[in-house]
Amino acid sequence: MKRTAFFISDGTGITAETLGQSLLAQFENIQFSKLLRPYVDTVEKARDMVQQINAAAEKDAARPIIFDTVVNDEIRRELAKSQGYMIDIFSTFLAPLEQELGDGSSYSVGKTHSIQHNTHYKDRIDAVHYAMDNDDGARTHHYAQADIILVGVSRCGKTPSCLYMALQYGIRAANYPLTEDDMERLQLPKALKEHKHKLFGLTIDPDRLQGIRNERRPNSRYSSFAQCEFEVREVENLFRKENIPYINSTHFSVEEISAKILMQMGIERRLK
């Protein structure tokens, strides 16, 4: 079964998309065509959206699902003329909250993701810059400022995990690739020893690692299964020897990896 889902907002659409994606993920037997439509902030834009929604309804022979965080009543009324099934995220959750808190919502556009209302915006940007500047073992003399340092073999998911933690949580995350020399000596590099309490390891199944590396350097020793199997085995031995916590990243998304890391290390997110 195929259905179209729209994430519509008069702001960035991040809230509508995030919650909508989470809900749709529970329906594994349905294939969704997902369309983000941010900044639908005029009646004219809403009318254009109605045409897009109706076209999708005709194509699918089924009502599109609409997740919206539009706060303007006039725009919402226009969208309601479409053939879609609308889920108003704000009214669903804000009305009960207003009753519980005894206060009315401001119903303002872009509260969550605007700079002027986000006191942690600078923390987020600084964390992203830190992750980029301290990627792949660069600038190890800055590790004193790190909240966490990811270690593991090349191409096991360290960089995307660091960037995700920086962007979503404001965590200052560095990463250091363990080399073949480190594995043969079975000891931590000097740059990591004094920061051992900040280390967290990532590992990966050798066949998965081979596939990733083969896209980067096909038919090389670096991407051979024998080399991948050796590196994974030895780095896991190093993690166990040094009592470094670690997880296998093979079957987890970057979101899951990051959440598991912060939970196991007891690190609180900076962005709240």
Question: Can you give the pLDDT of all 272 residues of the chain as single tens digits?
Answer: 899 999 999 988 888 998 999 999 999 999 999 999 999 999 999 999 999 999 999 999 999 999 999 988 899 999 999 999 999 988 788 778 888 988 877 655 555 555 555 667 788 889 999 999 999 998 899 999 999 999 999 999 999 999 999 998 999 999 999 988 888 888 899 999 999 999 999 999 999 999 999 999 999 999 999 999 999 999 999 999 999 999 999 999 999 999 999 999 999 988 76
H helical segments located in the chain = 14-24, 43-60, 73-79, 89-101, 121-133, 158-169, 180-185, 190-193, 206-216, 225-242, 254-265
> Do 117-263 and 1-99 fall under one CATH topology?
yes
Q: Is 162 annotated as ligand-binding?
A: no
228 annotated binding-site participant: no
Q: What is the pLDDT of residues 241-255, one digit of tens each?
A: 999 999 999 999 999
Q: Specify the pLDDT at position 44.
A: 97
Tokens of 66: 């609409």
Residue 159 labelled as part of a binding site: yes
At the topology level, CATH places domain 117-263 in Rossmann fold (3.40.50)
Mean pLDDT of the chain: 91
pLDDT score, position 65: 98
Q: Determine how many CB atoms are found less than 10 A away from the CB of residue 240.
A: 11
Annotated binding-site residue? 50? no
Give domain limits for the chain. Answer: 1-99, 117-263
157 annotated as ligand-binding: yes
CA-CA distances (angstroms) from residue 272 to 41, 163, 169, 170, 193?
A: 27, 17, 8, 9, 31
State whether CATH 3.40.50 applies to domain 1-99.
yes
Q: Per the annotation, does 155 bind a ligand?
A: yes
**109 assigned binding-site residue:** no
156 annotated as ligand-binding: yes
